[in-house]
């Protein structure tokens, strides 16, 4: 009987907690809506003509994102302001593309929404100009049904997506929330030019967009790591730069047991889709072990490419002479930073498009799994420049 009463009391407590949370959430949402409606009323009375002739600005506290909308129809801009401000976004609106470009150079926006057909400056030209001035800003095209094909074509110039007129309040909010998630996901996958020397115990806790090098590990020019065991044998694998740039790995083409290899010769290959990425031996010697467990569970590399996720073991034949060709400690960190900057410059200057439209080559950012979305010519160039060394 006592247990039954205890269960009933627990259920009542849980239900009461859920009810209270629901009441608090509803109350908070009503308060936020009232504040945003007041912001609409107050802000629209302010004069921003010193910045732009047709500029109307509504700012909310802790906005989900900052949006600039440009359309030659005030009724469309009025809808954007009302709907998106209530949904928690700060919104600037102007009626010409020229005004929009002036504001883009003065303010930090997350999104620019631009009408496709405007008399003075088309949405295509707005998109091109915004992506040139601020490649970090995401552009969304506003279009009618008859111009959807043109809006899709605009994505070749860097537009993230398009919104088709007419739209309901719920449809617009849902689409903008989707665009925000897409933007945040892309930003979260941008690799940071931060390289940490760490110990093996904390490898699994590393930020997935930072780069790690364990203390005492040697790094080769072709991005293999080499760790010397107590028995003098050397474990070899791919380093964190290679692991993060390559992304999802399908399989590893292991070296043959007993194989004799010289420093700089092909040792193993990493397969991603139809691409095979060669890795050259960091040291000379005989292959005495291969990591069968890793070969059968390549997803383990998503946690760390170091420690137990070595690919093969080598009995080194010229270790003392060859270690001078490898990097360790701060020299390895400097080497990583050089290659990160080199790759960023290549992407900015040479990559014109990717298979993932949310990624912006012109901004020079490097993303987790960069090779997964590049075209063959860019993959081949990067493999040649960074791994065939």
Instruction: Give, for all 389 residues of the chain, the pLDDT tens digit.
Output: 666 666 666 666 566 556 566 665 665 566 666 667 666 676 667 777 778 899 999 999 999 999 999 999 999 999 999 999 999 999 999 999 999 999 999 999 999 999 999 988 999 999 999 998 998 899 999 988 667 787 778 888 888 998 988 889 999 999 999 999 999 988 888 887 789 898 755 555 455 788 999 999 999 999 999 999 989 899 999 999 999 999 999 999 999 999 999 999 999 999 998 899 999 999 999 999 999 999 999 999 999 999 999 999 999 999 999 999 999 999 999 999 999 999 999 998 999 888 876 677 777 888 999 999 999 999 999 999 999 98
- The tokens describing 320, both together, are 């003392």
What's residue 4's pLDDT?
64
Let me know whether 203 and 115 are in one domain: no
Q: Which among 213, 162, 160 has a CA at the least distance from the CA of 187? A: 160
Let me know whether 154 and 45 are in one domain: yes
**Could you tell me how far CA 189 lies from the centroid of its own chain?**
3
Let me know whether 133 and 180 are in one domain: yes
What's residue 19's pLDDT?
59
Q: What is the pTM of this model?
A: 0.76
What's residue 129's pLDDT?
95
Let me know whether 123 and 199 are in one domain: no
**Could you tell me how far CA 39 lies from the centroid of its own chain?**
33
Let me know whether 92 and 69 are in one domain: yes
The count of domains in the chain is 2
Please count the residues of the chain. 389
Q: Which domain holds residue 276?
A: 195-336
Give the angle 35-41-42 at the CA atoms, nearest 5°: 85
- What letter would DSSP give residue 168? -
What's residue 9's pLDDT?
61
What's residue 208's pLDDT?
77
Q: Which among 58, 227, 63, 71 has a CA at the least distance from the CA of 141? A: 71
Let me know whether 78 and 211 are in one domain: no
- Quote the CA–CA distance of 112 and 133 in Å, as a whole number: 12
Let me know whether 157 and 230 are in one domain: no
CATH of the domain at 210: 2.40.50.100
The 3-state DSSP composition of the chain as helix, strand, coil percent (nearest 5) reads 45, 20, 35
Q: Indicate whether 24 belongs to any domain.
A: no
- What letter would DSSP give residue 205? G
Q: Which of 165, 188, 211 is the last residue of a domain?
A: 188
Q: Which of 320, 336, 352 is the last residue of a domain?
A: 336
What's residue 158's pLDDT?
85
Q: Which of 142, 163, 188 is the last residue of a domain?
A: 188
Q: In what order do the strands lie in the sheet with 224-228?
A: 218-219, 224-228, 234-238, 312-316, 285-290, 260-261
What's residue 205's pLDDT?
46
């Amino acid at each position: 009987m006592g247990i039954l009463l205890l269960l009933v009391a627990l259920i009542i407590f849980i239900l009461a907690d859920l009810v209270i949370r629901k009441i608090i959430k509803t109350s908070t949402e009503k308060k936020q809506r009232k504040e945003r409606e007041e912001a609409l009323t107050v802000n629209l009375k302010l004069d921003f003509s010193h910045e732009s002739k047709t500029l109307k600005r509504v700012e909310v506290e802790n906005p989900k994102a900052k949006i600039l909308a440009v359309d030659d129809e005030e009724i469309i801009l009025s809808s954007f302001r009302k709907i998106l401000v209530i949904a928690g976004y700060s919104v600037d609106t102007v009626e010409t593309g020229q005004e929009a470009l002036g504001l883009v150079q003065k303010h930090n926006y997350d999104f620019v929404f631009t009408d496709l057909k405007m008399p003075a400056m088309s949405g295509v030209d707005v998109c091109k100009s915004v992506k040139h001035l601020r490649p970090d800003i995401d552009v969304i095209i506003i279009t009618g049904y008859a111009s959807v094909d043109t809006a899709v074509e605009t994505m070749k110039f860097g537009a993230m997506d398009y919104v088709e007129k007419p739209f309901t309040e719920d449809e617009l909010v849902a689409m903008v929330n989707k665009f925000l998630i897409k933007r945040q996901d892309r930003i979260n996958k941008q690799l940071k030019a931060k390289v940490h020397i760490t110990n093996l115990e904390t490898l699994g806790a590393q930020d997935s967009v930072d780069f790690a090098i364990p203390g005492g590990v040697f790094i080769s020019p072709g991005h293999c790591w080499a760790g010397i065991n107590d028995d003098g044998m050397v474990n070899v694998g791919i380093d964190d730069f290679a692991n993060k740039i390559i992304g999802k790995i399908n399989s590893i083409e292991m070296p043959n047991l007993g194989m004799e290899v010289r420093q700089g010769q092909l040792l193993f290959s990493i397969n991603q889709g139809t691409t095979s990425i060669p890795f050259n031996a960091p040291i000379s010697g005989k292959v005495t072990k291969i990591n069968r467990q890793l070969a059968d569970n390549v997803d383990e590399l998503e946690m760390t490419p170091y420690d137990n996720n070595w690919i093969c073991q080598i009995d080194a034949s010229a270790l003392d002479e060859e270690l001078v060709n490898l990097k360790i400690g701060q020299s390895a960190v400097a080497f990583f930073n050089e290659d990160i900057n080199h790759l960023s410059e290549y992407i900015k200057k040479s990559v014109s498009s990717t298979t993932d439209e949310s990624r912006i080559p012109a901004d020079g950012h490097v993303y987790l799994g960069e090779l997964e979305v590049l075209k063959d010519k860019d993959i081949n160039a990067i493999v040649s420049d960074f791994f065939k060394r």
